[in-house]
Structure 1
Amino acid sequence: MRAFITGDPYTANDAGRGWIQRGVWPCKWISCKEAHQPPFVTTYRRRFTMDKDATVRAHVSADERYELFLDGRRIGRGPERSDPANWRYETYDIPISRGDHVLVARVWSLGRKAPFAQMTVYPGFIFSTEGEYIEKLGTGVAEWEAKKLEGYEFVDPSPAWGSGWNLIVDGEKFPWGFERGEGEGWAKAKDEDPGANGFIRNEYPNLHLMKPAILPPMVDRDIFAGSVRFVSDKPGVLVDLEDNITSELDSWNLIRGKGTIDVGAGVTRRVIVDLEEYYCCYPEIVISGGKGASVAVNWAESLYKSREGYGVKENRNELDGKDFWAVGDVFKPDGGRNRTFGPFWWQAGRYVELVVQTAAEPLTIESFTLRETRYPLEMESSFQSSDRRLEEAAPIMLRALQMCSHETYMDCPYYEQLQYAGDTRLECLATYAISRDDRLARQALSIYDSSRHTSGVIESRYPCHVTQVIPAFALWWIGMVHDYALWRDDLHFTKGLMPGVRAVIDFYLSSANKDGLIEAPNGWNFVDWVPGWPWGMSIDADLGVSGVVNWQFVYALSLARKLEESIGRASIGGQWAETANELASRLHGKFWNEKRGLFADDLGHTSFSEHVQCLALLSGVLDDGELKKCRDRVVKGLLDDPNLHRTTISYSHYLFETYRLLGRIDKMIDRMDLWFSLEGLG
């Protein structure tokens, strides 16, 4: 039903129009008059009659997100995450039979309570059709109705953050049957701005610049996995296996698609399901009866031995004596039959907890379904190794990549759910190695480019309605452009990103001090979560002159040189090479420690790290010229000095790349104990 287009669907309409009218769609955004300040949930309907069977093409979007129903059946959801300058819409070819029908959309606009990654212009919905169906079905043309949906309360998602507030759904207030267009309170929708061709629209107010979705539909399938490991009649957080009602374990295996569960009046049941794998899912629970009850559906990656800081998990297979510290949603039945409850957005983790507390009326859980969602990324390549540890770790790594791949890449599916450039570079590289599908990577490259500030720097995580700049991540984005060019040989796409590459370089050059060294670019100068580095910043990275910051710039210049040469701009590449060599020479004068044979992290030579040595070696400036004499000593120090600040998980990529460069894969294997231990830790 989804169709994919690459250009604007109404370009032909622009023939003969003046420049100010070009790019105006025939259909408009609509909104709900009674919905004012977010957060709120609205619904829109269009009742209509078809005089023949037909396939209707519709371009659909919403602010912030929508679900689309035809005659009560969900046929789509979106829009694909992006930003106001690239507001995405999905195109559907909808087969509709002769007769009476109703189209319905549910739209939620959460404002400050939305996920950080969710951007907004103003709340609304658009269903823009083509040809003869514009007048029959198009929003702002046909008579669409709207109303605000009651029964939703939004609650803080702690211990998660940034992923959007969770739900409490009150079944007694909820307008059951809205997806079929039923119920009272419908009123004429309010017209807003016409849809706008985001490629060419000119002279416009604050509106959605619309562009077609570029990603395939996310995975959308039921999973029947795992087993019930704990059933108790006591609510709470702590799991004590002494409380486990083992006689009920099998009957609660609804997660495997088996049968129904009856829960009597005045009863509490706490059920923990181990999915035995990490999943991102939309949970859906169907309940009959149970007026006055509450049913919580909570998710956790692991149970916690301690909740100090970000929590101590230890072995993830273990339950006893640990806390189920989780995020989730609460559903309150109204006593009706076959009431379907679920959240707007998916949840993530290995463990699912159901907490059922009934009042004076019993309830029946008719079904409990988990629908997996993620980007449809699968391993097209193959991996074999004589080292059993690598073969055992590879599936875990693949699953981690899949769980962090959705409408954007994510640093983590459980917490922020944000596309950070430092993480995304590594996720893209892994994607290139296993799949020919590079659409998610192209999305990331382009949307970072769209986030650019006037200074030339890009945002560290994007799309995101909370602005954050990590200057180093702009350099990693240059690395992303380099990697794409290397793996995909797509000259046209690469050329389009090169002005942004040059802008990042100019941003860094504008931070040079009188000595020609880069001095703490404005922002959070995060490097790596090294113990002892405050907020992940190496010494002097925050306000002074840092060896790590400067050497990363040299490394990025070396990649930019290769990029320029690959697109036929060798003269600009030569400029970046000259800049890199000049800066490296200054760094040698200020940061080289002859006694230790290493580059220091700071001008006072009080700190030394693997990070600096790796960046210096990877940049290639030690391979010849005046700095060649340092190379062997840097290599020896990196390999043998036990007192260097060590790279942590994500930065280990650059350490491993350096080991590869040096032909020392044995050292890489020695540093992979963390990955090799994952299987045993659950």
Structure 2
Amino acid sequence: MDPAPSSQTIAHLNDNWTWVKDWIDAPLKGEAGRLARFQRIVEVEAAALKVPIWVRLSADTRYKLLINGNRVCVGPARGSDRIWFYDTIDLGPFLRTGSNIIEILVLRFFPSENVAEPFGRTARPGLTIYGSIGDENISTGGTDTKWLGGPEDNRYYPQETPWDHFLNTYEETSSRTEEVALSPLKRHRLWNKQGVLSPWFLEPRCIPLAEETPCPFKAIRHSDSGLDIDAWHQLIAGRAPLTLPKGSKHRLELEFQVHSTAFISVTAERPKYSGSKVSLTYSEAYEVLPRPPPGQGFTFKDDRTQREGHGLVGPSDSYFFSGYAGGGDRTESYEPFWWKTFRFIVLEIEVSDEPLTLESLVFTQTTYPMAVVADWKATPLSNKMWDVSIRTMRNCMFDGYSDCPFYEQLQYGEDSRSAMVFHYLLSGDDRLGKQAISAFATSIQPHGLLLARYPAHTKQVITGFSLFWSMQVCDHMLYFNEPDFANRFLPTIDSVFGFFDRQTDPSTGLVANLPRRFWSFIDWNVHWGSSDVPKGFHDNGMPMEGRESGTWSFFTMIYAFTLRRVCTLLQQLGKPQQIAQYTSRADRAVSAIKQYCYDGEFFMDSTVEAHRPENPLSQVSQIWGILCGAIDPSSPDARRILLKAFDPQTEFAVASYVMQHYAFRVLSHTGLYNMFYHRMWDKWRLQLDKNLSTWEEDDVNGRSDCHEWSALHPYEYLTEVAGLKPLAPGWQVVYWNPRWKLYETIVAKVALGHQGVAQVSWRTTESVCEVSLSLPRELRVYSPGVHGNLVDRGVVDRLSLSFPVKD
């Protein structure tokens, strides 16, 4: 983050865009992208190292900065042609007195190819640097620059492999026969005058750089190597090098303590000649094999650590050592450009006709610096679930809210809405949330909806995700009370609502006839798959009923729900002008749900007329039918519906993990939360029994073992069990309803946005439960009275309540 951002800095950076000469910005061998290397040698005096050495830089598509062979950082943060970020780095801690080699590797993904989905890019490759070290200007651009660059042609990034359909960051690296040829750079001549914009609309990075920690290794699960396994352990622990005999082959299956996202580095004593090869295959779990081809069946996983009868599969990196033919110093190191996701790694080494001495294998965890200040202590099981949720969140946060780090690393509107509120409660940090909200807003399309995943290379519209984005704006205002930020997005929210209003059938009031070119995903469900469906609707993401007409009750329900949420936002912002219109639309939608989608007993997935007895009703429709207000949540009917829908003996299409967050909300609204609370965690208990260390994406497709939307526990523990919720923006007024009957004792800490950290604790004896609340400062607190009414507890920083324990 730039300590002193200015328009002048951006002007300098725009003047300094440059690139390597004779670059062809398209595939030559069917590759997804190509790597370019930039280098400059700098002489540094001791006096220069006594103060911070701030340098600003950016690149398209992603860069890795190294000083004297050591990784400093990767960047920029994910961007698009609407917003492109530059980074501000203090080089001082990485420089030494005397000669220093600054290298920048830039992985350029080609804009013409529909690959590398999470990596937005512009129409041009580029690198820009602005800064000085002491008296020496190290900026790119100008005529006297000492920067050199050239393509790194020995790294190949396949467009598609059996295990990689999104990232394209996996490498096939061949031996170098000579050092990389570097030459002076070609400066981009950009016209930045008279309102003509650069391809990169630069803004300073608004999130911190990723943090790095050691990645904990656990065990060598299997070894096909003629060497003693203890020698391999010594190498991995960093205690001793290991020499591999010439002509030998080695295959090891490495297990790590937990699911990880890490940089991997292999260093060997530089061989005389080229030819030795190392391969790294990454896997989240031991899987039942053979695995079905992508799109032709579900992956089956049971115990993630069970090797017998199972195997490790996944994408891989490979590297051929170049030896002295490729130049360099005494050692030769290989580090894939991008970080990798794994719980297991298959390490394979083929040694050429001379011995190969490995000096180190280093695994470095990298994530967004989450800085968790919240805490939870209750029972061993709930404590473990808390830890797994935080690990899941961390692994899905690098420079955005990624759905799953192993497969996609894409930021989706619905997924990130859940992740944001979880993150707010854990850290009180809204920087990643604000970056995501702002990015999504820039993706607005002519029809009024936002792109479902953004920043991303290709466009995808998932119908309901723009409504979840609208909720993100409401959530941020509630947790942080920043009116100026929220006000920026009101026109975009209105545009989203305009789409749903135009899609409302005037004869019924239902959102209907949704365009087939959009994906009207609702939830993952095994009951919703069929081959006998219209083209474009073949998946488990939407109910069977409604596929022919493009009409599902869910979209009318969530439209009404979001309209009411935004009415609350407008009240908070002091902008009542549109409240009447939005309220009228919500009322009309709710009336339509009652008339056409409710048969007097349950809510349909489409209309009552379209329902077929052979298709089970869904929990999702019951959840959102109540949340949108089609039935009063305090009514006996609401309780009846949920008791039936969540009864395991009845055949309802069960909500997957993403919708469990909203299942908890409706249980809370209807007074059934305590009754269902412990049984709701059964699926997560099963995951622990299967030895997952992060929460899986869903229990339908069997794909990812780490997905942000499944990390529900912090939200439930802190807002429902500990019972703290904001009643006014920025936690200026606090609602406290501790559910003390759910655990005998707890100690919980909750991040209250910018206010600080609160603590809730209680201990239960045979006769009484003593509950206490400690706030970071004096705040007005309300809590339920004995008759359900709100009781004003005053403006306090401490509060204690006693509840008699009854048999």
Report TM bin, short chain. Answer: 0.7 to 0.9
1:27 counterpart (12, 15, 28): 15
Cross-structure match for 1:120: 121
Evaluate the alpha carbon distance shift between residue 393 and residue 250 of structure 1 in structure 2; reply closer, same or farther with a 3 A threshold: farther
1:251 counterpart (232, 238, 243): 232
- State which drifts further: 284-293 or 83-92: 284-293
- State which drifts further: 663-672 or 464-473: 663-672
Distance in 1 of aligned mates of 2:594 and 2:492: 29
Distance in 2 of aligned mates of 1:393 and 1:72: 40
Query: Does 1:537 pair with 2:536?
Result: no
Distance in 1 of aligned mates of 2:548 and 2:7: 45
Cross-structure match for 2:333: 340
Counterpart residue type for residue 269 of structure 1:
H
How does 1:487-636 map onto structure 2 within 5 Å?
487-515=479-507, 516-522=509-515, 523-534=518-529, 535=539, 536-538=541-543, 539-541=545-547, 543-594=549-600, 596-602=601-607, 603-606=609-612, 607=615, 608-623=617-632, 631=638, 634-636=641-643
2:163 counterpart (148, 159, 164): 159
Counterpart residue type for residue 151 of structure 1:
N
1:331 counterpart (300, 314, 319): 319
Partner SS state of residue 388, structure 2: helix
TM-score under structure 1 normalisation?
Answer: 0.88
Check the 8 A contact 2:639/2:670 in 1, yes or no: no
The Cα shift of 1:301 comes to 0.4
Distance in 2 of aligned mates of 1:314 and 1:36: 47
Check the 8 A contact 1:411/1:419 in 2, yes or no: yes
TM-score under structure 2 normalisation?
Answer: 0.75
Check the 8 A contact 2:64/2:71 in 1, yes or no: yes
Q: Any gaps of 5 or more consecutive residues in structure 2?
A: 27-32, 325-329, 530-538, 692-807
1:282 counterpart (246, 256, 263): 263
Deviation sequence 1:440-477 (CA, Å, 0-9, x none)? 11111111111111222111111110111001111111
Cross-structure match for 2:396: 404
Partner SS state of residue 548, structure 1: helix
Alignment size in residue pairs: 643
The Cα shift of 1:135 comes to 5.7
Counterpart residue type for residue 216 of structure 1:
P
The Cα shift of 1:29 comes to 0.5
Distance in 2 of aligned mates of 1:266 and 1:622: 73
2:650 counterpart (622, 636, 642): 642
Cross-structure match for 1:105: 104
Counterpart residue type for residue 461 of structure 2:
V
Deviation sequence 1:298-338 (CA, Å, 0-9, x none)? 11100111312352221012112212112120011123441
Evaluate the alpha carbon distance shift between residue 574 and residue 537 of structure 1 in structure 2; reply closer, same or farther with a 3 A threshold: same
Evaluate the alpha carbon distance shift between residue 674 and residue 329 of structure 1 in structure 2; reply closer, same or farther with a 3 A threshold: same
Distance in 2 of aligned mates of 1:601 and 1:231: 55
**RMSD of Structure 2 on Structure 1 (CA):** 2.8
Query: Does 1:312 pair with 2:304?
Result: no
The Cα shift of 1:524 comes to 0.3
Evaluate the alpha carbon distance shift between residue 46 and residue 268 of structure 1 in structure 2; reply closer, same or farther with a 3 A threshold: closer
Cross-structure match for 1:450: 442
Check the 8 A contact 1:113/1:165 in 2, yes or no: no
Check the 8 A contact 1:35/1:42 in 2, yes or no: no
1:60 counterpart (57, 62, 75): 57
Distance in 2 of aligned mates of 1:304 and 1:355: 19
How does 1:133-144 map onto structure 2 within 5 Å?
137-140=139-142, 142-143=144-145, 144=147
Evaluate the alpha carbon distance shift between residue 300 and residue 146 of structure 1 in structure 2; reply closer, same or farther with a 3 A threshold: same
Query: Does 1:417 pair with 2:409?
Result: yes
How does 1:187-198 map onto structure 2 within 5 Å?
187-193=183-189
Partner SS state of residue 592, structure 1: coil
How does 1:201-280 map onto structure 2 within 5 Å?
203-204=195-196, 207-233=199-225, 247-249=228-230, 251-280=232-261
Distance in 2 of aligned mates of 1:74 and 1:302: 29
Check the 8 A contact 1:460/1:470 in 2, yes or no: yes
The Cα shift of 1:5 comes to 4.4
Check the 8 A contact 2:175/2:275 in 1, yes or no: no
Distance in 1 of aligned mates of 2:85 and 2:24: 24
Partner SS state of residue 652, structure 1: helix
Evaluate the alpha carbon distance shift between residue 284 and residue 30 of structure 1 in structure 2; reply closer, same or farther with a 3 A threshold: same
1:169 counterpart (166, 173, 177): 173
Deviation sequence 1:324-361 (CA, Å, 0-9, x none)? 11212001112344110011101111111110112322
The Cα shift of 1:482 comes to 1.7
Distance in 2 of aligned mates of 1:400 and 1:346: 16
The Cα shift of 1:193 comes to 4.2
Cross-structure match for 1:662: 670
Evaluate the alpha carbon distance shift between residue 97 and residue 323 of structure 1 in structure 2; reply closer, same or farther with a 3 A threshold: closer
Check the 8 A contact 1:128/1:138 in 2, yes or no: yes
Counterpart residue type for residue 153 of structure 1:
Y
The Cα shift of 1:374 comes to 0.7
Partner SS state of residue 59, structure 2: strand
Q: Any gaps of 5 or more consecutive residues in structure 1?
A: 12-22, 176-182, 234-244
Evaluate the alpha carbon distance shift between residue 173 and residue 160 of structure 1 in structure 2; reply closer, same or farther with a 3 A threshold: same
Distance in 2 of aligned mates of 1:420 and 1:542: 26
Query: Does 1:295 pair with 2:295?
Result: no
Evaluate the alpha carbon distance shift between residue 452 and residue 541 of structure 1 in structure 2; reply closer, same or farther with a 3 A threshold: farther
The Cα shift of 1:188 comes to 2.0
Cross-structure match for 1:680: 689
2:37 counterpart (32, 35, 43): 43
Evaluate the alpha carbon distance shift between residue 492 and residue 36 of structure 1 in structure 2; reply closer, same or farther with a 3 A threshold: same
Check the 8 A contact 2:55/2:132 in 1, yes or no: yes
Check the 8 A contact 1:557/1:576 in 2, yes or no: yes
Check the 8 A contact 1:390/1:676 in 2, yes or no: no
Check the 8 A contact 1:115/1:162 in 2, yes or no: yes
- State which drifts further: 581-590 or 638-647: 638-647
1:372 counterpart (357, 360, 365): 365
Counterpart residue type for residue 264 of structure 2:
P
The Cα shift of 1:675 comes to 0.5
Evaluate the alpha carbon distance shift between residue 157 and residue 215 of structure 1 in structure 2; reply closer, same or farther with a 3 A threshold: farther
Deviation sequence 1:265-313 (CA, Å, 0-9, x none)? 2211101111021110110001232732211011110011131235222
Partner SS state of residue 464, structure 2: helix
Partner SS state of residue 498, structure 2: helix
Counterpart residue type for residue 279 of structure 2:
A
The Cα shift of 1:136 comes to 5.6
How does 1:410-489 map onto structure 2 within 5 Å?
410-489=402-481
Partner SS state of residue 506, structure 2: coil
Distance in 2 of aligned mates of 1:134 and 1:502: 51
The Cα shift of 1:636 comes to 5.0
